């Protein structure tokens, strides 16, 4: 193909004309945050956004509550069974003497099942309520507005958590009673072991009377154990396991009390925000 001179002049004219015009820059909208040019957030940004809306106080309280209730219910159930076995074998040979105690312990074991189920459900509800009152609800599902019903439910959780916290303080104190009883028996056995080399003080005179704790009647036979018999009781697997399981159950009850205190602070804070700042553009992350 041969290009003539007039065509060359026309091409040069068009090139010079375009170069003489000022360059126009196209406006590119600024990117907000770390959003990709396609307007889609990356995986890292989504993770940071989700982690920013997690109610960490309620999450920690839920984990602590589940752990404490599991320790209290599981260890307490096995420890009560071992306690009945020790009483039947060494302190109350007549079944009628400890029949009432056996029924009470069996009832407590059923109550333990109910406590475990209730707190598993209640912990999940409180954790969900904590997520509900976070800013993640607003950011993911549009404008966040509270209603009178929602504030009433949050207030109910505050009251119920307070009542449960007071009740578990009583449970924690009650769970310390068998620990105290087993500790006295164990310390008496240690005294007997230390007096075996002392001839002036015979170990047969050192006894433990279970009837003084009120768990079996005063007419129970034999009702007490002395000297080598008491030492043999302390060396049994039932006594060793029950003693340590009661300690773990008491620690679990204490952990549950701490968890309920954290729940109480979190629910109170959430209720205050929902009530006093419900008309503002404000949410909680507690």
- At 35 the pLDDT is 46
SS3 for 220?
A: coil
Query: Which tens digit of pLDDT belongs to each residue from 212-241?
Result: 888 888 888 788 888 888 888 888 888 999
Query: Which tens digit of pLDDT belongs to each residue from 167-219?
Result: 999 999 999 999 999 999 999 888 888 876 655 555 567 888 888 888 888 88
Name the least confident of 127-141, 157-171, 263-277: 127-141
Q: Which residues contact 136 (CB under 8 A, 6 or more apart)?
A: 49, 50, 52, 53, 54
Tell me the average pLDDT across 259-282.
73
- Hey, what's the torsion of the CAs at 67, 70, 75, 78, to 10 degrees? -170
Residue 23 has pLDDT above 50, yes or no: no
SS3 for 147?
A: coil
Phi-psi region at 61: left, alpha or beta (left = phi > 0; alpha = psi -120 to 50): alpha
DSSP 211: G
User: What b-and-e string marks burial along 258-270, b requiring 16 or more CB atoms within 10 Å of the CB?
Assistant: bbbbbbbbbbbbb
């Amino acid at each position: 193909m041969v290009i003539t001179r007039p065509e060359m002049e026309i091409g040069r004219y068009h090139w010079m004309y375009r170069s003489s015009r000022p360059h126009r820059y196209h406006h590119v909208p600024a990117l907000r945050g770390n959003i990709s040019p396609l307007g889609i957030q990356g995986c890292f940004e989504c993770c940071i956004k989700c982690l920013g809306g997690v109610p960490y106080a309620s999450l920690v309280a839920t984990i602590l509550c589940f752990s404490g209730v599991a320790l209290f219910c599981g260890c307490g159930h096995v420890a009560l069974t071992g306690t009945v076995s020790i009483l039947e074998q060494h302190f109350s040979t007549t079944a009628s003497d400890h029949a009432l105690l056996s029924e009470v312990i069996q009832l407590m074991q059923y109550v333990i099942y109910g406590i475990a189920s209730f707190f598993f459900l209640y912990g999940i509800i409180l954790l969900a309520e904590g997520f509900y009152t976070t800013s993640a609800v607003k950011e993911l599902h549009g404008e966040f507005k509270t209603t009178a019903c929602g504030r009433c439910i949050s207030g109910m959780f505050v009251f119920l958590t307070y009542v449960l916290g007071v009740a578990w303080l009583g449970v924690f104190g009650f769970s310390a009673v068998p620990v105290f009883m087993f500790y006295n028996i164990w310390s008496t056995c240690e005294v007997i072991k230390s007096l075996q080399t002392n001839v002036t003080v015979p170990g047969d005179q050192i006894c433990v009377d279970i009837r003084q704790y009120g768990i079996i009647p005063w007419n129970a036979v034999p009702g007490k154990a002395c000297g080598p018999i008491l030492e043999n009781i302390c060396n049994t697997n039932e006594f060793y396991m029950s003693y340590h399981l009661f300690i773990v159950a008491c620690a679990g009850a204490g952990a549950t009390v701490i968890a309920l205190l954290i729940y109480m602070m979190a629910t109170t804070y959430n209720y205050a925000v929902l009530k006093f700042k419900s008309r503002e553009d404000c949410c909680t992350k507690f």
